[in-house]
Structure 1
């Protein structure tokens, strides 16, 4: 016989349920049931008490948000009139909510916003079928909406400060969700009854383990092994430097394009985001298209890299790797891909080569979600101020920033999905970890050189120097992006929260060579890692020149599925000549020494 969920024993729930069936009125007293025992129902005093408790909780949350804003000494918000107007609206909506709960026949019908209706935190039917938890859910939405509306009403502050307040408020609202607390989450209460509390013990064990390692666990850490079921495309390490390993992948076609491809992934993460399972691997797919593919695997920073800076990733990283591939295969030029920060750096590399008269070393450049103009760089801009820079100095005393801090920052940008979802599942529900290759990669953090990280935040995010001709230089060579005439393929993600599409679009405003812009569905990762066989998402193209992203979209053609084939066609058009896949085209058969099989040793360094 199934056990009755714990929350069904509460007097408030029992009374509300009986009222919904029309069995009692507010002033009813307890009457014996068929067993002769008085059922547990709520009196008017009970309801008045719960009204006071929940109403007081709402008031405390709302006032805490107002006091937080007031503590920031914000002009306009400290205005008593603004507080009074916000309070009046809040309490008016609160009374409507209580009327719907206590006397639904006479209350205004609830019109739920689409955003609230599709909120995955409350998709379980218990949140709506049970009057108590439906009230808790609606009450939470009411408070959240009013806190965010309050931020929008602030006057007298600059836009960045308002965005910082909005971000902090959203984070606070997400953290205070009733789904994050055992006693206000009906699913957790049911699990407590089902497991006799063992879920909380498992959750406590999970939490203590995470505290011990200083990182939130998002997937089964034992489910994947590099080279066995992830990052398993065959190849060999053909070059190793103190900064990177260069991996060459084995051809799968009899002939290959003469011009090879060199991929620069971001050193903020491990390279194998582009080589997950074989079904998701961009690297394997590119090899199967007849490309000779090389990938740079960056070394995770340690104390030996304390002096590594921006110029090192250009000179000793990207330019060195380009020259190494040209020398190994005896070709004049290479195709390149730069992902995220490596795309930012690739733009600078192209400018440096152009200034030195060496632009022909690169036949084409593809940019995955890369930014060069950081005026609209999204929520990450909110973390750049003097206090944050001082904190980074403190955290980087050994010459590098522990990758866990950067991972926590990126998780915070999507706290609802990447933090609180796992707090509920791992700590409250005590669920087993699910194997998920993307989250395994996301948790596989890398350390960052302190000197590079600080200059990246200050020179690019804060001061936006990269797009100012001559403001930055590499070994005396000034950077001017407008001098770059290399054919470019620029990809952006429509829902990207790290490199917003509007920000990526700005790259097209500086490069002066032939250019193709493609807007992919989804975000920073799924928008890139979208194999054709998955038949997911879509992408937009526009064959006409567009003055802005809005203009691009207004005349764009939508194509279902992956943009990878579009890119493959574009690459083939740059240099269609093919050669036999033999000799140096097969890793290990050329003159250059090899250093072991892919995925190499740097990717395993922790």
Structure 2
């Protein structure tokens, strides 16, 4: 028979325990008197421009392009190298064209698409004249990659931004985007007698109406939230202005003593971690005998513009932790944060450590950054001009709207996320095939103005958390104060939270630390259920006080293990848990069940 054990009583600071279960809304922020304020006129003008540019600052782009052009103009050696590179590419292209015209078969192409570029996979791209158009485009792309590389004296972020601008411009004029230059479109049009163009036009106007009205598309049959997705049974046991807390019903006769609290990102809905039954992380944990709690964030409106990042910590993480401690008393809690939720959890954990609150049994951070010096291509959208531009847009709206965030993420992989999809949908007439991840990806949310501004400035722009300048309640916090064991997950092809950036949590902590690098991207790598084919992970362990190992060395020394990282993580959670006992009741005094899972907030649009 399993034994019921309880760890030592945990210390709970009075401030956290005094937090009410329901927190009253803040008064709505009063805007400046625009007619009498020159400042308001400036901000309103920039906000109007931001709407036209999708939230991208033209001043930041112009500054980067000018910086690059000026430095290139005074670098004659670099100009000669570029001229030679253009000559070499022209020779390669000419030789390829000659072999294609005179030889049988398909001679090897001198230029290859990037690994993530799937626009030229159709076999007809190897045939004339399409092969020459494809190779001409890739040769031009290759030259611009070199031209916009780093130059001595050029600010690295401006070089990266100039390369990004060049890539976006080239992608717009890629031959795959034009029906008369794309062999796949031409073949499909002839095969269907133009029916694909008619159906593609219908798809285009359908998408256009959704864009203009900002309505969410209907969820397809078999992918309904609350029925097919986010369908793990449970109860909402807490609700306040900012979030709901879901406690999931047990599926085993006994459960681990320590519950699991999951803090998802509020940039999207929480059910990325509770998708279909076969790939739901929540359901998997429940089946392994864990008591699981999930925060479901509210979709903010303009009335919530003044919510701060610390409000999300207090009224989200800490309020949820208080509820979990009341429902499962006298035990510690395994906390898990995903993406932005993981960053917030790290802040909360460091604050708890500073204040002597030892309720955390362990901390798991999934694709979550704590240091933002190497935050990847998102840094291209984060300088003083860009942040001020977005702030003015949010000042006018009260929030950062759904399409503005979606567009930013899409442009970082425009080849696949914008152009390949557009070609398939509008020219080939193919509807988007429904999937649980696709439905979740379209179920976008907003972000409160003040919170997002603090996040961009305090973390992305100024990197305060690991610089010893991030204060909570007037006092600076430090990640090194965290003593709970940590399990940090990075994904190999993540372009939102690059794994080397996620890995840097090891630099700023000195406790028991496991780093897990998994196959996949920001979402697909985390949703990695057992039985999924072609998945693998690497797992390393740093003992407390051990010397630092750089990420490239770490990668060389850790071989991939086939399978799902969920299995290794669940085993680690069990290792850091006490005994087992009967499942706790759903809810407790002061936290009575309010509704069935998935609650109300997940349905807000």
> What's the secondary structure of 1:532's corresponding residue?
coil
Q: Distance in 2 between matches of 1:508 and 1:92?
A: 44
CA deviation profile, 1:531-586 (whole Å, cap 9, x unmatched): 112143211123456522123223224211111111111111112311112xxx24
Q: 1:194 to 1:219 in 2, by over 3 A?
A: farther
The residue aligned with 1:257 is 256
What CA distance in whole angstroms lies between the structure 1 residues aligned with 2:122 and 2:218?
22
Between the aligned partners of 1:570 and 1:86, the Cα distance in structure 2 is: 53
Aligned counterpart, 2:493: 495
Distance in 2, Cα, partners of 1:238 & 1:441: 24
User: Are the counterparts in 2 of residues 407 and 443 from structure 1 also a CA contact under 8 Å?
Assistant: no
2:86 equivalent to 1:90: yes
Aligned to 2:189: 192
Instruction: Identify the range of structure 1 (413-422 vs 70-79) with the bigger mean alpha-carbon deviation.
Output: 70-79
The Cα of 1:281 is off from its aligned counterpart by 0.5
2:170 is equivalent to residue 168 of structure 1: no
- Specify the alignment match of 2:476 in structure 1: 478
Secondary structure at 1:138's aligned position in 2? helix
2-structure distance, mates of 1:222, 1:278: 15
Look up the match of 1:451. 450
Is contact 2:470–2:477 with CA below 8 Å preserved after alignment? yes
CA separation in 2, counterparts of 1:423 and 1:143? 23
Say which SS state the counterpart of residue 421 (structure 1) adopts. Answer: helix
- In structure 1, the partner of 2:40 is none
Change beyond 3 A, Cα 1:539–1:228: same
Instruction: Give the corresponding residue for 1:138.
Output: 135
The 1:284–1:590 alpha-carbon spacing in structure 2 relative to 1, beyond 3 Å, is farther
Aligned to 1:463: 462
SS at match of 1:392: helix
Which residue pairs with 1:316 in the alignment?
315
Q: How many residues align?
A: 536
Question: Unaligned 5+ residue runs, structure 2?
Answer: 1-60
- Separation in structure 2 between the aligned mates of residue 165 and residue 216 of structure 1, nearest angstrom: 34
Aligned to 1:539, the other structure's residue is in SS state: strand
Match of residue 278 from structure 2? 279
Q: CA deviation at 1:274?
A: 0.5
1:93, CA displacement in angstroms? 2.9
Q: Is the contact made by 1:542 and 1:555 (CA closer than 8 Å) also made in structure 2?
A: no
Change (3 A) 1:586 1:114: farther
Match of 1:200, SS?
A: helix
Name the residue aligned to 2:240. Answer: 241
- Higher RCO, 1 or 2 (CA under 8 Å, sep at least 6)? 2
For 1:131 and 1:163, how far apart are their aligned partners in 2? 35
Contact 1:90 1:146 in 2 (8 A): yes
Correspondences of 1:532-547 after superposition (within 5 Å) = 532-543=530-541, 546-547=548-549
Whole-Å separation in 1 of the counterparts to 2:198 and 2:67: 39
- Could you say if the C-alpha distance between residues 221 and 95 of structure 1 is closer, same or farther in structure 2, counting changes exceeding 3 Å? farther
Q: Contact 2:537/2:561 (CA < 8 Å) preserved in 1? A: yes
Correspondence for 1:528: 526
Q: Establish whether residue 349 from structure 1 lines up as the match of residue 352 from structure 2.
A: no
CA distance in 1, matches of 2:598, 2:269: 11
Per the alignment, do residues 452 and 593 of structure 1 end up closer, same or farther by CA in structure 2, a change over 3 Å counting?
same
How far does residue 71 in structure 1 lie from its aligned partner after superposition?
Answer: 8.3
Q: Is the 8 A contact 2:401 2:445 kept in 1?
A: yes
**CA drift at 1:113:** 5.1
SS of 1:338's equivalent?
A: strand
Kindly report the root-mean-square deviation, in angstroms, between the aligned alpha carbons of the 2 structures.
Answer: 2.7
Question: What is the rounded CA distance, in whole Å, between the counterparts of 1:176 and 1:252 in structure 2?
Answer: 54
Check whether the contact 2:112–2:138 (CA below 8 A) recurs between aligned residues: no
How far apart are 1:91 and its partner, in Å? 4.6
**Aligned partners of 2:563 and 2:412: how far apart in 1?**
27
Unaligned runs of 5+ in 1: 1-64
* Matched position secondary structure for 2:497: coil
Q: Which residue of 2 aligns with 1:389?
A: 387
Counting only pairs closer than 5 Å after superposition, residues 417-432 of structure 1 correspond to structure 2 as 417-432=416-431
Residues 110 and 70 (structure 1 numbering): CA distance in 2 closer, same or farther, change over 3 Å?
farther
Deviation for aligned residue 1:82? 4.7
- Measured in 1, the distance between the counterparts of 2:453 and 2:208 equals 27
2:505 corresponds in structure 1 to 507
Q: Which residue of 2 aligns with 1:556?
A: 558
1: distance between equivalents of 2:116 and 2:317? 44
Per-residue deviation, residues 330-362 of structure 1 (Å, max 9, x unmatched):
23321100111111111110111111111x111
Match of 1:180 in 2: 177
Partners of 1:141 and 1:235 in 2: CA distance = 52
* Further displaced range: 118-127 or 494-503: 118-127
Measure how far apart 1:329 and its partner are. 2.0
**Corresponding position of 1:331:** 330
CA contact (8 A) 1:384 1:462 kept: yes
Shift of 1:78: 6.1
**Aligned-pair CA distance for 1:145:** 0.9
Alpha-carbon offset, residue 474 of structure 1: 2.1
- Match of residue 75, structure 1, among 71, 74, 77: 71
For residue 594 of structure 1, report the CA deviation from its aligned partner: 1.7
Distance in 2 (alpha carbons) for counterparts of 1:349 and 1:507 = 15
SS in 2 for 1:294: strand
Equivalent residues of 2:150, 2:159 under 8 A apart? no
Deviations 1:47-78 (A, max 9, x none): xxxxxxxxxxxxxxxxxx99x95686431246
Deviations 1:207-259 (A, max 9, x none): 22222222799997566210111111111111111000001111100000111
Q: Measure how far apart 1:604 and its partner are.
A: 0.5
Measure, in 2, the Cα distance between the counterparts of 1:399 and 1:154. 40
2:598 & 2:401 partners in 1: Cα distance? 22
Spell out, residue by residue over 1:165-209, the C-alpha distance to the aligned partner (whole angstroms, 9 max, x if none). 122222223222211111111111122223332322322222222
Q: Secondary structure at the match of 2:560?
A: strand
Hey, what's the Cα distance between the residues in 2 that align with 1:174 and 1:599?
A: 40
Q: Establish whether residue 205 from structure 1 lines up as the match of residue 205 from structure 2.
A: no
Per-residue deviation, 1:146: 1.0
Contact 1:216 1:419 in 2 (8 A): no
Question: What secondary structure sits across from 2:246 in the alignment?
Answer: strand
Structure 1 residue 103 displacement after superposition: 6.0
Looking at CA atoms only, which structure, 1 or 2, has the larger radius of gyration? 1
